[in-house]
Amino acid sequence: MIRRDGGIPANLAKAVVRFDQWRRGDSSTGRIPDSLWNLAVDLAREHGLSRTATALKLGHYDLVS
């Protein structure tokens, strides 16, 4: 879904907030929690790989597998 106002869809924007909160918190293991990872995969299916990876600051190839 591409928005005419240039913004990102609401569910992708909420995911950005959740990822940012996780990154600011205790992410000492370096592993993305399964709940966030599953969210990212679902969003990539809905909004496309490139757009989702860029918004969530993930590697494009990380979401491929």
Domain that holds residue 57: 10-22+31-63
Closest C-alpha among 61, 45, 58, 60 to residue 11:
45
pTM: 0.83
5, part of any domain? no
Contact between 16 and 55 (Cβ < 8 Å):
yes
Residue range 2-41, pLDDT digits in tens: 555 568 999 999 999 999 999 988 766 778 899 999 999 9
The count of domains in the chain is 1
Residue range 38-55, pLDDT digits in tens: 999 999 999 999 999 999
